[in-house]
Amino acid sequence: MRASQKDFENAMNQVKLLKKDPGNEVKLKLYALYKQATEGPCNVPKPGVLDFINKAKWDAWHALGSLPKETSRQNYVDLVSSLSASSESSGQVTPAADRKQPGSDALVVTSQDGITTITLNRPDKKNALTPQMYHDIMLALEAASKDDSAIAVLTGNGDYYCSGNDLTNFTDIPPGEVEDRARSGAVLLRDFVDCFIDFPKPLVAVVNGPAVGISVTLLGLFDIVYATDRATFHTPFSHLGQSPEGCSSYTFPKMMGPSKVIFGNLKTKCNVISIPKATEMLVFGKKLTAREACTQGLVTEVFPDSTFQKEVWVRLKAYSKLPPNAMRISKQVIRNREKEKLHAINAEESSILQERWLSDECMNAIVNFLSKKAKL
Ligand SMILES: CCCCCC/C=C/C(=O)SCCNC(=O)CCNC(=O)[C@H](O)C(C)(C)COP(=O)(O)OP(=O)(O)OC[C@H]1O[C@@H](n2cnc3c(N)ncnc32)[C@H](O)[C@@H]1OP(=O)(O)O
């Protein structure tokens, strides 16, 4: 069977998620097949001998002669498929048909087996979230809420799930614009979190590695959180002069419950006070292991890292075959009565953060991070 345009687009996305660099020879072959499949035989002048890279690309394309576009497309798809198999790619990478792809490679949206997967794809920056990524995630959730998938998944490419907000978002702000930027940041944050509150289908976090900041706080708005035993959960807001978002000031104490602190001794009267466990995370920045997060109700299930991807995707594929309308309605029954409250909490948290971003504590913490004085 000939590869369709959709198969070809799927393969292009798969290439972005390859875990191993396939090497220059294969990359040239991919380039040549891509050009031949999209533009036909090489029709541009040969670059000069000193223009090594462009000459190598030209040679590879030119070598395909008059190979038909359809055959090139098929060969491209076959080559990518063999690379994906050998690089242990999760195999979840077929983009949804007709979906508008995100504005950059930092987010990859795919759809297969009734599952729309949104993958954070900035592994060299530990998948830190840029403004473009916040916008693209909102667009992806909007599209996923209407497509024919039964469930949606958020995950990360590389060793991290996500290192939270990209702290360089706070740099290069001209002095007179700091307040405006804090205001627009708070609007973006509020809109972003609203999309998670309103998402109508089951939403699953596949936490493939450590998670920091907003990527942790949002977990309270997911329906399932699967984590590798390598994952950690860290919300260093006080260290950063910031405050909790993602509705975590409400969802975390609710999910984690109280921890009892007993003080006094046998001779005196003992006092028992109850502090929400979430306080240790959200106020004191305690980093939880995956198992601790599971015991405290933030994570649904923890898997050994060696079998994480396999076990999780087998499970999710089975879930995605359940009747989609029933799942959507059940989610709504569980979540709807909280929605109004969550929107109000989100608005409040966003406006408090807007103030925090203007504080000296916050500015100093970011300067520290950027100057590599501090590693959280
Ligand atoms: C619309 C706005 C909404 C904002 C909402 C409010 C959100 C709040 C938060 O999310 S608060 C949390 C912010 N995140 C952090 O504080 C994490 C900062 N990063 C780290 O502490 C460390 O990088 C690490 C623990 C995540 C990983 O440490 P390590 O394994 O030692 O790797 P590196 O530090 O060398 O990192 C590799 C590379 O990635 C860059 N990077 C990592 N995280 C971020 C980040 N959050 N922002 C920007 N850049 C990040 C890091 O600088 C390195 O880059 P380099 O190779 O040096 O160019």
**What SS3 state is found at 129?**
strand
H or E segment and range at residue 120: strand 115-120
Ligand 1 close to Cβ of residue 125 (< 6 A): yes
Give 48's pLDDT tier (boundaries 50, 70, 90).
confident
In sign, the C-alpha dihedral spanning 100, 309, 164, 320 is positive
Cα separation, 100 vs 102, in Å, equals 7
Q: pLDDT tens digits, residue range 60-81?
A: 899 899 988 998 998 888 888 8
pLDDT at 34 over 60: yes
At residue 27, the pLDDT reads: 86
More confident call, 363 vs 201: 201
Q: pLDDT tens digits, residue range 259-311?
A: 777 777 666 677 777 778 999 999 999 999 999 999 999 999 999 999 999 99
CA of residue 122 to ligand 1 center, whole Å: 11
Q: pLDDT tens digits, residue range 140-171?
A: 999 999 999 999 999 999 999 999 999 988 87
Cα separation, 126 vs 210, in Å, equals 9
- Map tokens 């907003």 to a residue: 214
**What SS3 state is found at 202?**
coil
At residue 368, the pLDDT reads: 85
Residue with the smallest CA separation from ligand 1 atom 57 is 125
Contact assessment for residue 299 and residue 290, using Cβ atoms and an 8 Å cutoff:
yes
Which of 44-48, 200-204, 368-372 has the highest mean predicted lDDT (pLDDT)?
200-204
CA of residue 376 to ligand 1 center, whole Å: 9
| Residue 337 CB-density burial (10 A; 0-12 exposed, 13-18 middle, 19+ buried) | exposed
**What SS3 state is found at 271?**
strand
Query: Helix 69-86 and helix 5-16: axis angle, to 10°?
Result: 40
pLDDT at 92 over 50: no
Ligand 1 close to Cβ of residue 209 (< 6 A): no
| Residue 171 CB-density burial (10 A; 0-12 exposed, 13-18 middle, 19+ buried) | exposed
- Phi then psi for residue 87, to 5 deg, are -100, 15
Ligand 1 close to Cβ of residue 232 (< 6 A): no
CA angle, 284 then 289 then 291, to 5°: 125
Task: Choose the residue to mutate in 157, 212, 356, 358 for probing ligand 1, maximizing ligand atoms within 8 Å of C-beta.
Answer: 212
- Phi then psi for residue 7, to 5 deg, are -60, -40
Task: State the average pLDDT for the chain.
Answer: 89
Ligand 1 close to Cβ of residue 128 (< 6 A): yes
Residue with the smallest CA separation from ligand 1 atom 46 is 166
Percent of the chain exceeding pLDDT 70 equals: 91
More confident call, 252 vs 82: 252
pTM of the model: 0.77
More confident call, 374 vs 366: 366
At residue 22, the pLDDT reads: 83
Length of the chain in terms of residues written: 376
Cα separation, 128 vs 354, in Å, equals 20
Contact assessment for residue 99 and residue 144, using Cβ atoms and an 8 Å cutoff:
no
Residue with the smallest CA separation from ligand 1 atom 17 is 163
Q: Which of 194, 223, 190 is nearest to 333 (CA)?
A: 223
Contact assessment for residue 89 and residue 18, using Cβ atoms and an 8 Å cutoff:
yes
Q: pLDDT tens digits, residue range 11-23?
A: 888 887 877 778 7
Contact assessment for residue 374 and residue 365, using Cβ atoms and an 8 Å cutoff:
yes
Ligand 1 close to Cβ of residue 236 (< 6 A): yes
Class of domain 5-86: mainly alpha
Cα separation, 252 vs 256, in Å, equals 6
For the segment(s) 107-374, the CATH number from 3.90.226.10, 3.40.190.10, 3.30.420.40, 3.50.30.30 is 3.90.226.10
Percent of the chain exceeding pLDDT 90 equals: 65
Contact assessment for residue 43 and residue 128, using Cβ atoms and an 8 Å cutoff:
no
Q: Amino acid identity of 147? A: D
The residues, any chain, with a CB within 8 Å of residue 155's CB and separated by 6 or more, are: 117, 118, 119, 120, 161, 205, 206, 207, 208
Cα separation, 299 vs 226, in Å, equals 6
- Map tokens 């109850």 to a residue: 274
Two structure tokens written together for 239: 């260290």
Give 102's pLDDT tier (boundaries 50, 70, 90).
low
Count of beta carbons in the 10 Å neighbourhood of residue 15: 18
Contact assessment for residue 32 and residue 64, using Cβ atoms and an 8 Å cutoff:
yes
Two structure tokens written together for 329: 């309605």
Q: pLDDT tens digits, residue range 218-265?
A: 999 999 999 999 999 999 999 999 999 999 999 999 999 887 777 776
For residue 7, the Cα-to-chain-centroid distance in whole angstroms is: 24
Q: Where are the domains of the chain?
A: 5-86, 107-374
Whether the complex's predicted ipTM surpasses the cut of 0.90: yes
Q: What is the mean pLDDT of residues 94-117?
A: 76
Two structure tokens written together for 325: 């309308």
CA of residue 167 to ligand 1 center, whole Å: 7
pLDDT at 103 over 90: no
Exposure string of 186-216, with b = 16+ CB inside 10 Å and e = fewer, is: bebbbebbbbbbebbbbbbbbbbbbbbbbbb
At residue 82, the pLDDT reads: 83
At residue 325, the pLDDT reads: 97
Ligand 1 close to Cβ of residue 183 (< 6 A): no
